[in-house]
Chain A
């Protein structure tokens, strides 16, 4: 066997190992083993490697890995105004692959800091004020952190430049990484420098804290958060390479047990001249995470968002049967629905998960009634022209009616700018994160493999 590249995804529940032969551009081995957070992630890895050996994968020429294990990259962000620096900070963190655990606007309170002390974040992103704008807020918050945080945690400072030195001095005990402002002038989102800082801290601190240093030292490229790998893969699939064009604008949905991630790679600007665009500019490669939408641990979040009556009507289950089904899913993340009403409930939950998560990700077109009649205002991205949607994750990818579920979820879009009639791609083999990883290293091969592995519905 020639050049085998090992692509490892340390997930929160499972570690997935994908062995790819770069010459034949085929997957030559796949193993899924439980992630062992307690005894250390590398133990799970060696279990996976022996499994691959049984499949004939013996020599490995290169290694790449991503991780969302042990809670992923847990971040808290703060800024001044909710729709401005706070939103900019939140988007920058999401785009860096973080799990955004807390979002604070205006001034941090002692209760906020108590929350941070009880469960310190992996990284705190402190922003506020445009360059030359408000200084008081970020200084107040830096002071609150330095005075009341029980232990220092990694901090990225990306607020008003005029306050950066003073804020860094206040936070000396945290050794903050000082970055250019995430919103240097009003309405401008400068996410890249912040994201680069987040990646550096992820490597330095997180990898060590989570027992990954040995694994990381053997890799051919830096270990990255799993969502970053997925974003890289999606962007490659949309844009292509010099050698081969991509599919054009695309959206992707990854329905997990606890969260649902939605990705879109497109500009999403208004399609007609009489539509005014409002709000922060959207990132070309955008990621949103719904922490309350998932098919197992977070199944009750779907029910509260969709309404119990609608879930019962759609699944045909009684109130009692629904409660039993939900408890089962909540308590056992690995539980598989075999058939009958169990499968029916999973499909109902998946349908609503798609409908809700896509609506939260997509932009809105509202008609505003003014003294002069009707005008149109768009906020967020217009996904209507997208020609492809990729589905991955959870039990969904095993169902042959996944495409029909998506089509149903896109119906009755109301004011949401959802894809109108996209072709549906399904990641049947669960290769999304592995091929995303490969995209960061061997884009031409990764693109050809994605086009081969993802099947049209």
Chain B
């Protein structure tokens, strides 16, 4: 079967560069084709890359606490670009400080993201859900 393609990157003005590299390796090990955009990635860059590579999912990482601001409008732009149905995940430290995660998750899902992960989630968790959502190994 063809490999599934993931576009990954750290969104906004966030420069935390280590986690995304670990995610890159973990996803490749799990058999994905990974397009890693690195740090400080804009919404437009995520979308352009996903269209050009015909990606199966977008994985957004956000560590510095401003994830909520940074992903606002991302789903609408995907719809506009013709990839409205693409799964979008977000994880890292997506909001400032410690907040009850069910409330946080609710807000991110309301913005059109497919899944939001609490701090401390491992790459393996993401891989598990990706396999499920993309229908891999069934």
* Selected contact of A276 from candidates B35, B40, B49, B69, CB within 8 Å: B40
Q: How many residues of A contact B (CB 8 A)?
A: 24
Given contacts A80-B52, A81-B52, A84-B48, contact A132 B33 (CB under 8 A): yes
Contact A375 B52 (CB under 8 A): no
Contact A372 B52 (CB under 8 A): no
Q: How far is the CB of B111 from chain A (nearest CB, A)?
A: 17
Contact B5 A134 (CB under 8 A): no
Q: How far is the CB of B3 from chain A (nearest CB, A)?
A: 8
Which residues of A in the span 158-211 have a Cβ within 8 Å of any Cβ on B? Answer: 183, 185-187
* Selected contact of B48 from candidates A81, A129, A276, A371, CB within 8 Å: A81
Residue of A nearest to B82 (CB): A106
Contact A130 B53 (CB under 8 A): yes
Q: How far is the CB of A367 from chain B (nearest CB, A)?
A: 11
Given contacts A132-B33, A276-B39, contact A370 B53 (CB under 8 A): no
- Proximity bits, B14-48, A CB within 8 Å = 1, else 0: 01000000000000000001010101100011001
* Selected contact of A377 from candidates B40, B48, B49, B64, CB within 8 Å: B40
Complex Cα–Cα for A375 and B15 (A): 10
Q: How far is the CB of A315 from chain B (nearest CB, A)?
A: 40
- Number of contact residues on B: which range applies? 20 to 34
Contact B35 A85 (CB under 8 A): no
* Selected contact of B40 from candidates A82, A132, A134, A278, CB within 8 Å: A278
A83 interface residue per 8 A CB criterion: yes
A243 interface residue per 8 A CB criterion: no
CB neighbours of B66 from chain A (8 A): 370-372
* Selected contact of A129 from candidates B44, B54, B65, CB within 8 Å: B54
A381 interface residue per 8 A CB criterion: no
Contact B54 A135 (CB under 8 A): yes
- Tell me the B residues contacting A by CB distance below 8 Å: 2-3, 5, 12-13, 15, 33, 35, 37, 39-40, 44-45, 48-49, 51-55, 64-66, 69
In the complex, the 9 A-B pairs of residues with the closest C-beta atoms, listed nearest first: A370-B13, A133-B53, A134-B54, A81-B48, A133-B54, A84-B52, A130-B53, A186-B35, A371-B66
